[in-house]
Amino acid sequence: MAGYFLPRDLHPGAWWVWALGLAVAATRTTNPWLLLTIVAVAGFVVVARRAEAPWALAFRLYLYLGVMIIAVRVFFRFVFGGAEGSTIILRLPEIPLAGIRLFGDVSAESLLGGLYDGLRLAAMVICLGAANALANPKRLLKAMPPALYEVGTAVIVALSVFPQLAESAVRVRRARRLRGGSGRRMRVLQTIMIPVLEDALSRSLQLAASMDSRGYGRAGLVEARARMWTGLMMIAGLLGVCVGVYSTLDGSTPRYLATPVLIGGTILALAGFWLAGKRVRRSRYRPDRWRLPELVVAASGLGVAVVLFVSSSFNPMNPSLIDLSWPALSWEPLAGVLIGVLPAFLTPVPEPAALEVA
């Protein structure tokens, strides 16, 4: 315990488990108080434990994206009609089309439904943004298992788009200030957008070239039949896991169908990963280890998901859209969500960023 709180970067997989736990918890409710608490917990942990690297500033972009998601979901209720309910608050000219109608009466119940659905989706996106701001994508690529190193490369590059744009924006804005640039709003946006995109594209090409020089994407000396059976097992197992997870989260699916599919898919996927990992030989320099702080982070995220999953079976987690009233808030799910804030206090601070030498 002497070195427990020494500054160090945690395993990126622990942050992703924590963020996915919060995202799963957000899928179990449309209560705005719980969803806002999940967003607040994610934001507080990001502010407390993100590193000083420029890519850690990407969390702000996810907040903007979440606000945009909510606005679009509410706007669609105006465009495609929102008269589901008795409390009409706006009457617009109706345009009937084949199978759908545009505009028309808009009810308060429909707008609240769009607001709740948009807030739930925005909370899930913000939770994933928190993982991107806390976990170094390059270290996450290093921690991928051998069987997933090719697929993991593509996934990590895709997940690092927002961090890469945030880092490029910081670099371009710093260079612009050093050159005496001034101005705000649209003019600044026009002068920054092209350099940011050009810098992000240039660094992506450099990353692709460096990965190619290190052997990423090589086929290896493996028989075509063995590769085919391994791929089929992995695809079938992952499909079984997806169906099993959806069936488990969906309360209308019988439990005797959800659990066997989830277990069978997991076993099949692990067998495929094991067979695929046998043909891949990789060496790691200073591999990341799971220690007690990583276990605390992962357990806190899983604890949030478990508490809200259990609470939803006996506690109403979705506010009524028939009788309009303030959404009720119970202490059990609220206390479960607050478990997710523990990494802000029970984990070491990240290491200070090293100075870059030009």
Give the distance, in angstroms, between the CA of residue 191 and the centroid of all CA atoms in the same chain.
30
Q: pLDDT value at position 355?
A: 39
Q: pLDDT value at position 11?
A: 85
- What digits encode the pLDDT tens for the residues 322-348? 777 788 888 888 999 999 999 999 888
Q: Are 42 and 25 in contact (CB under 8 A)?
A: no
The secondary structure of residue 147, as a DSSP letter, is: G
Q: Are 25 and 130 in contact (CB under 8 A)?
A: no
The total number of residues shown for the chain amounts to 358
Which single residue is written with the structure tokens 């804005």?
173
CA terminus-to-terminus distance, the chain: 38
Sign, Cα dihedral of 291, 294, 300, 301: negative
Torsion of CA 314, 320, 323, 325, to 10 degrees: 90
Give the residue extent of every domain in the chain.
12-147+294-346, 221-278
190 sits in which H/E element: helix 185-213
Helix then strand then coil, in percent of the chain rounded to 5, is 65, 5, 30
Q: pLDDT value at position 251?
A: 58
Which single residue is written with the structure tokens 């119970």?
330
Q: pLDDT value at position 357?
A: 35
Q: Are 352 and 8 in contact (CB under 8 A)?
A: no
Q: pLDDT value at position 353?
A: 59
Q: pLDDT value at position 255?
A: 62
Phi and psi dihedrals of 351, rounded to 5? Answer: -65, 145
Q: Are 315 and 335 in contact (CB under 8 A)?
A: no
Q: pLDDT value at position 162?
A: 62
Strand, helix or coil for residue 348: coil
Residue 317 one-letter amino acid:
M
Task: Please compute, for residue 189, the number of CA atoms within 13 A of its CA located in the half-sphere on the CB side.
Answer: 2
- What digits encode the pLDDT tens for the residues 218-276? 555 556 676 677 667 777 777 777 777 777 666 566 666 667 777 777 787 777 766 66
pLDDT along the chain (358 residues), means of 10: 70 90 90 93 92 75 91 85 71 72 77 89 93 79 62 61 68 73 56 70 70 60 66 75 72 66 77 66 65 91 90 76 78 91 90 50
